[in-house]
Each structure stands twice: as structure tokens, then as C-alpha cells.
């Protein structure tokens, strides 16, 4: 039996990235850091509480940082995100420096930073590259960066993540895409991910259970099936949903059903009030996928000839977790809103698994 490859997950969220590394087999988490209690609890319920440090990364003293073969994790991306402020002075952008502190201390052979696509164009990214020059904090590491569409690695979703791979065992490029036109495997679709799930969710609320994590009671632990949650839309919302065919969106609404903000805004935000298509991957699943006015989140079933054969609701948390490629065995902690945030913030485990499988032989070779 080969020695497990030890890893640290920073800004771990619910552990989407760790989930992918776990699926690749051979990796053993020795530390994870996350300051959101509900997300840290979800991580702990899946991967163990003992090595999860629930708290601010800046407050972890150097002496507590163990050696590890790999560091993974994504500093919060709101400062870079298209939806965020794009402010380079945003204090959240400085958190990547905490990441570097961990790299200096844990001395991993390889580290993987993930972020939103804008990261590659940011001032912080340029500074990161500069640190890998002689005399910099990352001296000895070779960096490669790529923009990876999750759909090209088997995830049924068109989400793109910027990935930086830092290595002191020789430069490592991003893994080659495996899925898509002209490749060995076809793209996964919304149908592949959710077609087997009940079209009418049986409930609108999570079970009333609580479990103690880090000495605090947290809602959960919930199974995937507990996350199939319906909502109670107004009559007017239902009329709107019913007008939108697969691939369509707010431009399909008749004038009398348009809210003022959309009537006055004739361009932009094309995917809002959108309906998914069965035979395509979904668009990016963000943290508020349960609100159809926020993106293309309506269930894909919509029969043009038969209004009774239409599913007029947004996707459920369970469906969102599937579209993010979480395994069915993954368990969840937190309120409905918190779990949605965990799902939407995660690196799709399927993408993380492709990265982990790609790194594994290089790490094994290096001993």
C-alpha cells in the first residue's frame, strides 16, 4: 500500500474540492480551514471533525500548520467576481497572502489555487506570479495557470474556474479535457444528472434535526434526499414560469407579466428567469439557484403541447448538488440558505477529481 498523500484544504467551504480529491483515492486530509460554522460542519460530517479548524485563517498560528504534500483551496472570490465589486483593495483579495503563509510553512510539493475566471486578469494574480521569481515567497515553485470549463471534465455544468498549479517537483500543466465534441466522452447533461428525481418535491422544509459540531448545535446531518425541497411561489410567479420554454428566459414573458425592472431594461442579464434544457449542461449554479429571477434555474421539463406536463419550479437543492457533481452519499449541515451557499460556492467535485487524478502520479513519482 502506497503512503497516503497528505493534504490541507484552505477556505474549504463544505469540502467540494476535498470531495473530488477523496474520490481520486490515495489522498488524506490533515487540516482544513473554514470560518463559516455550517460549511465547516458539512465538511466535518463528510471528512471528519478532528482536522477541521473552524475559524479565521489569519488566527491560525504558524506552529499549528502541519507539513503536507498538497495544499488546495480557493481564497474568496467576491472581489474578483463579475458579480462583485472588482475592487483590488478589497480586503478579501488579501487572503491569498494567508494562502502563501500556509505554503511557506507546510512546504507542499504541489499547491492548487482555484478562483473565478477574472482572477487571471487581476492585480493579485500578477503579484502571485511575481512571488515565484527568485527571492520571492514562492521561490522554487513553478506556476502554471489555466481556465478550466468543468463541463470538459464530466460535470453537467458550464462553470469555469481559474486554476493555478504551483509545483516544486517540476512544472505541472492543467489536466487535458476529457469530455466534449471531438473527445472520447460526450458532455454530461442536465438529463444525466437529475432525470431520475421526483418532479414534485414532497416537502418545503428540512427535517428538524440538529447535531453538535465544534461544541455548537447545527441543523443536520441531512442526506441528499432531504434536500429535495419545493417552494411556494405566488400565482403570478407560476404564470411567469409557465411562459418560459427550455433555453428561454425573461424575454419570453408577455408584457403584462414583466416586473418593471425588466420592462425598463431591454438588454443584458439574458439568463435570468431562464429554463434549463434537458439535453445540455446547465449554466453556472450560483448560491441563489432557488430564485428563478437570478439565473437559468427553472426545471427543464416543459411540454409545448401539454401545459400539464410542465414543471414550473426552480431546481431543488438536491438537483443543484447533482449539477455540481456532488456524490449522492455527500451529507449536508446548515439552514436551507446556508446549504445553497455551500453548493453554489463549491468547486465541482468532478473537476477537483480530474485535477487530483492528474496530480497523483506526479506526487507518487516525487516520493
Ligand X SMILES: C[S@@+](CC[C@H](N)C(=O)[O-])C[C@H]1O[C@@H](n2cnc3c(N)ncnc32)[C@H](O)[C@@H]1O
Q: Binding residues for ligand X, per CB under 6 A?
A: 11-17, 33-36, 39, 56-58, 73-74, 76-77, 95, 345-347
Q: 14, 77, 261, 333: which is the annotated catalytic residue?
A: 77
Find the shortest distance in angstroms from Cβ 365 to ligand X.
Answer: 26
- Preceding amide of 222 cis, omega within 30: no
Find the shortest distance in angstroms from Cβ 31 to ligand X.
Answer: 12
77 is catalytic: yes
| CA–CA distance, 367 with 364 (Å, rounded to integer) | 5
**Four-CA torsion 99, 102, 104, 106, nearest 10 degrees:** -140
Find the shortest distance in angstroms from Cβ 347 to ligand X.
Answer: 4
Find the shortest distance in angstroms from Cβ 188 to ligand X.
Answer: 19
* Closest to ligand X by CB, 76 or 175: 76
Taking CA atoms, 85 is separated from 13, 80, 286, in Å, by 21, 7, 17
* Closest to ligand X by CB, 34 or 224: 34
Cα-to-chain-centroid distance, residue 21? 14
Alpha helices by DSSP H, listed for the chain, are: 16-23, 37-47, 95-106, 123-131, 190-194, 235-242, 260-263, 317-323, 336-345, 349-366
* Closest to ligand X by CB, 74 or 149: 74
* Closest to ligand X by CB, 36 or 325: 36
3-state secondary structure 111-140: EEEEECHHHHHCHHHHHHHHHCCCCCCCCC
Residues tagged active-site: 77
Amino acid at each position: 500500500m502506497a503512503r497516503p498523500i497528505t493534504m490541507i484544504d484552505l477556505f474549504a467551504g463544505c469540502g467540494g474540492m476535498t470531495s473530488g480529491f477523496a474520490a481520486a483515492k490515495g489522498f488524506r486530509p490533515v487540516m482544513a480551514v473554514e470560518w463559516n460554522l455550517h460549511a465547516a460542519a458539512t465538511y466535518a460530517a463528510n471528512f471528519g471533525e478532528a482536522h477541521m479548524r473552524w475559524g479565521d485563517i489569519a488566527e491560525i498560528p504558524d506552529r499549528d500548520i502541519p507539513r503536507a504534500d498538497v495544499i488546495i483551496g480557493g481564497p474568496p472570490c467576491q472581489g474578483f467576481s463579475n458579480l462583485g465589486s472588482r475592487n483590488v483593495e478589497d480586503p478579501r483579495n488579501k487572503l491569498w497572502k494567508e494562502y502563501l503563509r500556509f505554503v511557506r510553512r507546510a512546504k507542499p510539493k504541489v499547491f492548487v489555487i482555484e478562483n473565478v475566471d477574472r482572477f487571471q486578469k487581476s492585480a493579485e494574480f500578477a503579484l502571485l506570479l511575481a512571488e515565484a521569481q527568485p527571492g520571492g515567497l514562492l521561490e522554487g515553485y513553478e506556476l502554471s495557470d489555466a481556465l478550466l470549463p468543468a463541463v470538459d471534465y464530466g460535470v453537467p455544468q458550464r462553470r469555469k474556474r481559474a486554476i493555478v498549479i504551483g509545483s516544486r517537483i517540476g512544472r505541472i500543466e492543467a489536466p487535458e479535457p476529457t469530455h466534449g465534441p471531438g473527445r472520447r466522452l460526450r458532455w454530461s447533461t442536465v438529463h444525466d444528472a437529475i432525470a431520475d428525481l421526483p418532479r414534485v418535491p414532497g416537502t418545503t422544509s428540512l427535517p428538524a434535526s440538529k447535531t453538535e459540531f465544534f461544541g455548537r448545535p447545527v441543523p443536520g446531518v441531512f442526506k441528499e434526499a432531504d434536500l429535495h425541497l419545493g417552494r411556494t411561489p405566488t400565482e403570478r410567479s407560476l404564470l411567469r414560469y409557465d411562459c418560459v420554454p427550455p433555453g428561454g428566459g425573461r424575454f419570453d414573458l408577455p408584457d403584462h407579466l414583466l416586473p418593471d425592472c425588466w420592462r425598463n431594461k431591454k438588454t443584458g442579464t439574458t439568463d435570468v428567469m431562464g429554463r434549463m434544457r434537458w439535453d445540455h449542461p446547465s449554466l453556472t449554479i450560483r448560491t441563489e439557484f432557488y430564485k428563478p429571477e437570478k439565473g437559468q434555474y427553472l426545471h427543464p421539463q416543459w411540454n409545448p403541447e401539454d401545459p400539464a406536463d410542465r414543471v414550473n419550479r426552480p431546481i431543488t437543492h438536491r438537483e443543484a448538488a447533482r449539477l455540481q457533481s456532488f456524490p449522492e452519499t455527500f451529507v449536508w449541515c446548515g439552514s436551507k440558505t446556508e446549504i445553497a451557499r455551500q453548493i453554489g460556492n463549491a468547486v465541482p467535485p468532478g473537476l477537483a477529481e480530474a485535477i487530483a487524478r492528474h496530480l497523483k502520479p506526479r506526487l507518487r513519482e516525487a516520493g
